[in-house]
Amino acid sequence: MLYQTYGPALVRKARRVLQDSDEARDVVQSLFVDLMQRNQLDVDLPYLYRAVTNRCLNAIRDRDNQRRLLEQQSPALRGVARSSCGERVVDLDLLTKLSDRLDARSLEIVVCLYVDDMTQDETAVLLGISRRAVVKRVRKIREVVAALVGDPVEVAR
């Protein structure tokens, strides 16, 4: 029942990150298989959202996966992009580049802010860290993105 209730929302989220429907469904299915095996069914959508983020980022970090994901990606599946890092929408291409340059926590923040369109406060709550910690990492993230895309660094989001 949890799978039927939250599955579609999680597939949509995974699809925005991986830009591939089959990959997204696989990620969500494997998450719930693991939850069932651990008998861990008292979870809510925020928890699951974060779990899907991490699974997607793990898939992106894997070199073999990266090549395959980039080859088969469908940019349209990125969906309505309502926020951006500087002037750049964060898509699969940028995420794969960032995966070599940012640590796991910073990548999570990138997905929260620029793919899931969360505020810094929401991101802090979801990740269980202070807003100040998010702000500090955002500065670094924006510098790295600017260096990758050649944009001037902006101070405010």
Partner 1 sequence: MTAPRCTAEPVSWLRLERYALGETGTAEAASIAGHVEGCAACRSALASLDEPIDLRPLPAAGPARGWFERWRQYWLGAGAVTLAAAAAVLLIVLRPGRPAPPDRPAPPPARVAVKGGELAIDLVREHGGSTATDPSRFLEDDRFKVLVTCPPGHRQVDVMIEQDGQRGFPLAAQGLACGNRIALDGAFRITGSWAPVTVCAIAPDRGRADRVLLRVTPLPKLANAVCVTVRYAR
Q: Which residues bind partner 1 (CB under 8 A)?
A: 1, 3-9, 11-13, 16, 25-26, 28-29, 32-33, 36, 45-46, 49, 75, 78-84, 89, 91, 116-119, 122, 126
CB of 101 to partner 1, least distance (A): 21
CB of 138 to partner 1, least distance (A): 15
- The b/e string for 118-146 (b: 16+ C-beta within 10 A; e otherwise) is bebebbbebbebeeebbeebbeebbebbb
Question: For residues 63 and 79, which CB has a smaller minimum distance to partner 1 in the complex?
Answer: 79
CB of 55 to partner 1, least distance (A): 14
- Rounded to whole angstroms, how far apart are CA atoms 139 and 56? 23
Question: For residues 63 and 75, which CB has a smaller minimum distance to partner 1 in the complex?
Answer: 75
- Rounded to whole angstroms, how far apart are CA atoms 86 and 127? 23
Q: Are 149 and 88 in contact (CB under 8 A)?
A: yes
Question: For residues 102 and 111, which CB has a smaller minimum distance to partner 1 in the complex?
Answer: 111
Question: For residues 9 and 135, which CB has a smaller minimum distance to partner 1 in the complex?
Answer: 9
State in Å, rounded, how far the first CA of the chain is from the last one.
39
CB of 63 to partner 1, least distance (A): 25
| Torsional sign, CA 95, 98, 103, 106 | negative
CB of 65 to partner 1, least distance (A): 18
- Rounded to whole angstroms, how far apart are CA atoms 37 and 128? 26
Question: For residues 46 and 63, which CB has a smaller minimum distance to partner 1 in the complex?
Answer: 46
